Chains A and B, each alone.
Chain A
Amino acid sequence: MSSDTIIRAVGVAKRYRIHAGAPVSLHETLGHALRLRRPPRQWQEFWALRDLSLTIRRGEKVAFLGRNGAGKSTLLKLVCRITPPTSGYIDVEGRVASMLEVGTGFHPELSGRDNIFLNASILGLTRRQTLERFDRITAFADIGAFLDTPVKHFSSGMYVRLAFAVAAHTEPDILVIDEVLTVGDVAFREKCREHLTGHGQADRTMLMVSHELEHLVRVATRGVVLDQGQVCFDGPIADAIDHHRRLRPAEVARG
């Protein structure tokens, strides 16, 4: 990989098997195994990604566009290692943090403080790194006196503010965001956007999926449009959005 390439996907494909009819049970599996028969094919194959190749340079802010089922979220999950590719490979340099959901691993019975440490650790920070960021996280979340209260007593606004604050301060090399920027009230959303586009973010590579095109225009620099698991457009974000609109005008109007 050249020095400023941070992600390189080569010939990546991902197949899902969608089970038709009854779910596969232990009984059925054992039954087929005992009778030494191959089970009948009860699933439909669905290729979420097909032979996708893509190179992303350090610091790029890439938005993935395309209609539902085009493979956007699958691609992000592969980069995060949540699910393996069926074929092909992806080279990734540096630490990836995923924001596919805010508050992953938050436990309602634990205090805000305990949840910060647990969540940050799950997102890849060491204890020392979390301590360094602790004051910034609590200031950003603005939860004040509730730091040692179990988060089940938090208002939903406080909960998402805290969860976003932890994720936003993990400062990974690659930040993967799927639809989470629709959290909180309008003012907090604005604060999140400022944080993501603010200074100190120039070197951070971001991969994002969102149906809020207006948001993508402000944060992303590059747009990749996927269709049926393949790249059908790759270029500046404004042109990508135009392409996306031409692809499915009806759906965009509805969304």
Chain B
Amino acid sequence: MRITPQMPGLAAMAGELWRARETLILLSRRDLLVRYRRSIIGLLWVLFKPGMSTLIFAFVFGRLAKLPDHGVPYVVLVLSAMIPWQFFSGVLTEAGSSILANHTLITKVYLPRLLLPLSCIPVNLLDLAAGLAMLALAMAWFGCVPQWPVLLLPLAVLPLSLVALGAGLWSAALLARFADMKNVLPYLLQFGMLVSPVAFSSSLIPDHLRPWYALNPMVAPLDLFRASILGSSYALDPALILPSLGTGLLLFFTGVLAFRRLERDFADVL
């Protein structure tokens, strides 16, 4: 093997990741064990935040503002997008801090650096599953019966994960380089949630804003979650979904490229 100043090719990076898959599993397992070992009610804490936000949004936007609810309880409408949003937010935050949190794995040993943001996915998938279980309980409580599209739910996880990982790679690369990103991130997340279909339905967006709205990479994953959970009452608009999937893919690929470019300096700047 030749060590040179040049960046590795994408194929070489993929091969290296594949050879390191056992390390990825062990790193993910470490994060899982650590998150749930110290607190018995760890899972309940994971559900507390989206649960509280959902109740507040349902009160403000459903009860006070009386926004359209597609014939389902507003709590269920919000929760069906809040749970995937929580996944996005979790992956973005944890992948973003993964380089700083594991700095000895960067400065004292070589391993494919992509493993660190990647290893944040499984633990957040578990949280996602727990959130969906909470959603199922809420739906049972309100007597909502899911229709056949709910079977397609696993398919919605793929675009969600790609967008979350893309954003996570961008924030990991930038956080290692610029310390002030840490202060910007919470505001970006808060802003992102307000311009995404979490507290309201995409049907509310007026026609002249729809082309812009469709550029938000989170519109497609969130609406796909909602449509599969709420069934025929929540119609998907391909003019929103397809451009949004496109920007999502763009975010992912540029995230990989940005990470590859900046990871070369990680050991020197940490």
B66 CB within 8 Å of chain A: no
- 17 new A-B contacts, CB < 8 A, other than A25-B178, A104-B108, are A82-B106, A83-B264, A83-B268, A84-B3, A84-B264, A91-B3, A92-B1, A92-B2, A92-B3, A101-B104, A104-B104, A104-B105, A104-B109, A110-B30, A114-B33, A117-B26, A118-B23
Asked if B4 CB lies within 8 Å of chain A CBs, one says yes
Interface residues of B in 166-204 (CB under 8 A from A): 174, 178-181, 184
Instruction: Flag if B109 contacts A122 (CB, 8 Å).
Output: yes
Min Cβ gap A57→B in Å is: 17
| 0/1 string, A7-30, CB within 8 A of B gives 1 | 000000000110000011111010
Which of B1, B29, B108, B181 has the most chain A CB within a 10 Å cutoff?
B108
One digit per residue, 1 when the CB lies within 8 angstroms of any chain B CB and 0 when it does not, for chain A 77-91 equals 111111111111111
- Given the known interface contacts A92-B3, A121-B23, the answer about A82 and B184 at a Cβ–Cβ threshold of 8 Å is no
Docked Cα-Cα span, A123 to B105, in Å, equals 10
How many pairs, one residue from A and one from B, have CB atoms within 8 Å of each other in the complex? Answer: 98
What is the total number of residues of chain B having a CB less than 8 Å from a CB of chain A?
A: 33
In the complex, what distance in Å separates the CA atom of A80 from the CA atom of B106? 11
Which of chain B's residues has its CB closest to A125's CB?
B22
Q: A184 at the A/B interface (Cβ < 8 Å)?
A: no
Q: How many residues of A sit at the interface, in one of the four size bands? A: 35 or more
Q: Is the CB of B268 within 8 A of A122?
A: no
Given contacts A84-B264, A114-B33, A121-B26, is CB(A89)–CB(B110) below 8 Å? no
Which of B3, B106, B179, B184 has the largest number of chain A CB atoms within 10 A?
B3
Known contacts A90-B2, A90-B3, A104-B105; A25/B111 CB under 8 A: no
The answer to whether B108 and A126 touch across the interface, beta carbons within 8 angstroms, is no
Q: How far is the CB of B32 from chain A (nearest CB, A)?
A: 11
Q: A residues engaging B (CB < 8 A)?
A: 16-17, 23-27, 29, 77-93, 96, 98, 100-101, 104-105, 107, 109-110, 114, 117-118, 121-123, 126-127
| A105→B104 contact, CB < 8 A | yes
Q: How far is the CB of B35 from chain A (nearest CB, A)?
A: 10
B267:A101 contact, CB within 8 angstroms:
no
Interface string of B1-18 (1 = CB under 8 A from A): 111110000000000000
Partner of A80, one of B26, B29, B110: B110
A89 touching B267 by the CB < 8 A rule?
A: no
Distance between Cα atoms of A77 and B264 in the complex (Å): 13
Smallest CB gap from B102: residue in A: A105
Nearest 4 A-B pairs (CB), nearest first?
A: A26-B178, A81-B110, A90-B3, A83-B267
B24's closest neighbor in chain A, by CB?
A121
| Chain B nearest CB, measured from A110 CB (Å) | 6
A82-B267, A121-B26 given; A110·B34 CB < 8 A: yes
Chain B residues near A29 (CB, 8 Å)? Answer: 178
